Chain A
Amino acid sequence: MDDFLSLSSALQKEIEDRGSVDLLIGLPSYNCAPTIVQVLKATDSGLSRSFPQASSLILVVDGGSLDGTISALEALQELSTPLVLTPYPVNPSRKLALPYHGIPEREKALWTILHIAQRLQAKACAILDARNLGTTPGWIASLLAPILQQGFDYVSPVYARPRYEGNLVNSIVYPLIRAFYGKDLHHPLGGDFALSGRLAAHFLSQEVWNDQAAAAQIEMWMAISAILTGYPLCQAHLGPKRHEGPPEDLAAALSQVVGSLFYLVESHQGLWQKGLSGPHAPILGTPSPQPAGSPSPNPRPMIEAFQGGLRDLLPLWEQALSPETMEELYPLVGMGMADFRFPMDLWVRVIYDMLLAYHYRIFYWRHLLKSLTPLYLGRMASLIIETEKGSEAEAEQSVELLCQRFIALQPYLTERWR
Chain B
Amino acid sequence: MGNLWKEAVVYAFRDFAERAAAFVPSLVAMIFLIALGILLSWVAMRLFRYLLRKVGTDRWSDRWGLSAILRNAGLKSPLSQLLSLLLFWILLIPSLMIGISALQIQATSLLISRFFGLLLQAIVAVLIVLVGWIVANFLGHAALIGAVNARIDFAPFIARAVRWGTMILASAMALIHLGIAQQMVVAILSILFGGLILALALAFGLGGKELARQFLEKKMRKGEGEEKGKEEVPHL
5 sample A-B contacts, Cβ–Cβ < 8 Å, listed by A number: A166-B236, A248-B235, A313-B148, A361-B67, A374-B149
Give A380's nearest chain B residue, CB to CB: B235
Chain B residues in 8 Å Cβ range of A31: none
The proximity string for B residues 137-156 relative to A, scoring 1 for CB distances below 8 Å and 0 otherwise, is 01001101111110101011
Q: Tell me if B63 and A365 are in contact (CB < 8 A).
A: yes
Q: Tell me if A297 and B230 are in contact (CB < 8 A).
A: yes
Q: Tell me if B69 and A304 are in contact (CB < 8 A).
A: no
Q: B21 contacts the other chain (Cβ, under 8 Å)?
A: no
The proximity string for A residues 346-364 relative to B, scoring 1 for CB distances below 8 Å and 0 otherwise, is 0000000000000001111
Q: Tell me if B234 and A316 are in contact (CB < 8 A).
A: no
Q: A308 contacts the other chain (Cβ, under 8 Å)?
A: yes
Give B149's nearest chain A residue, CB to CB: A251
Q: Tell me if B235 and A167 are in contact (CB < 8 A).
A: yes
Chain B residues in 8 Å Cβ range of A313: 144-145, 148
Q: B7 contacts the other chain (Cβ, under 8 Å)?
A: no
The SS class assigned to the B binding surface is helix
**Min CB–CB distance B196 → chain A (angstroms):** 22
Chain B residues in 8 Å Cβ range of A361: 62-63, 65, 67-68
Q: Tell me if B68 and A370 are in contact (CB < 8 A).
A: no
The proximity string for B residues 89-117 relative to A, scoring 1 for CB distances below 8 Å and 0 otherwise, is 00000000000000000000000000000
Q: Tell me if B230 and A250 are in contact (CB < 8 A).
A: no
Which of B65, B66, B227, B235 neighbours the largest number of chain A CB atoms within 10 Å of its CB? B235
Query: Told that A312-B155, A365-B63 touch, could you supply 14 new A-B pairs with CB distance under 8 A?
Result: A166-B235, A213-B63, A251-B149, A294-B233, A297-B232, A308-B151, A312-B156, A313-B144, A313-B145, A316-B141, A364-B66, A373-B149, A374-B148, A374-B149
Chain B residues in 8 Å Cβ range of A104: none
Chain B residues in 8 Å Cβ range of A294: 233
Q: Tell me if B145 and A251 are in contact (CB < 8 A).
A: yes
In the bound complex, what is the Cα–Cα distance between A165 and B236 (angstroms)?
A: 7
Q: A100 contacts the other chain (Cβ, under 8 Å)?
A: yes
- Say yes or no: A253-B231 contact (C-beta < 8 A), given A313-B148, A364-B64, A367-B65: no
Chain A residues in 8 Å Cβ range of B147: 312
Chain A residues in 8 Å Cβ range of B142: 367
In the bound complex, what is the Cα–Cα distance between A189 and B235 (angstroms)?
A: 12
Give A310's nearest chain B residue, CB to CB: B148
Q: A95 contacts the other chain (Cβ, under 8 Å)?
A: no
**Min CB–CB distance B141 → chain A (angstroms):** 5
In the bound complex, what is the Cα–Cα distance between A162 and B233 (angstroms)?
A: 10
Chain A residues in 8 Å Cβ range of B234: 165-166, 243, 248
The proximity string for B residues 147-174 relative to A, scoring 1 for CB distances below 8 Å and 0 otherwise, is 1110101011000000000000000000
Q: Tell me if B149 and A257 are in contact (CB < 8 A).
A: no
Chain B residues in 8 Å Cβ range of A312: 144, 147-148, 155-156
Pick from A164, A305, A309, A363: contact of B141, CB below 8 A: A363
Q: A332 contacts the other chain (Cβ, under 8 Å)?
A: no
Which residues of A (278-314) have their CB < 8 Å from a CB of B?
A: 294-298, 300-302, 304-305, 308-309, 312-313
Which residues of A (256-282) have their CB < 8 Å from a CB of B?
A: 257
**Min CB–CB distance B230 → chain A (angstroms):** 4
Q: Tell me if B151 and A304 are in contact (CB < 8 A).
A: yes
Q: A168 contacts the other chain (Cβ, under 8 Å)?
A: yes
In the bound complex, what is the Cα–Cα distance between A213 and B138 (angstroms)?
A: 21
In the bound complex, what is the Cα–Cα distance between A304 and B149 (angstroms)?
A: 11
Chain B residues in 8 Å Cβ range of A304: 151
In the bound complex, what is the Cα–Cα distance between A305 and B145 (angstroms)?
A: 12
- Say yes or no: A365-B236 contact (C-beta < 8 A), given A313-B145, A373-B149: no
**Min CB–CB distance B231 → chain A (angstroms):** 5
Chain B residues in 8 Å Cβ range of A253: 235-236
Pick from B63, B138, B236: contact of A248, CB below 8 A: B236
In the bound complex, what is the Cα–Cα distance between A313 and B144 (angstroms)?
A: 8
Pick from B68, B144, B232, B236: contact of A364, CB below 8 A: B68
- Say yes or no: A371-B236 contact (C-beta < 8 A), given A298-B227, A362-B68, A364-B68: no
In the bound complex, what is the Cα–Cα distance between A3 and B155 (angstroms)?
A: 45
In the bound complex, what is the Cα–Cα distance between A364 and B64 (angstroms)?
A: 5
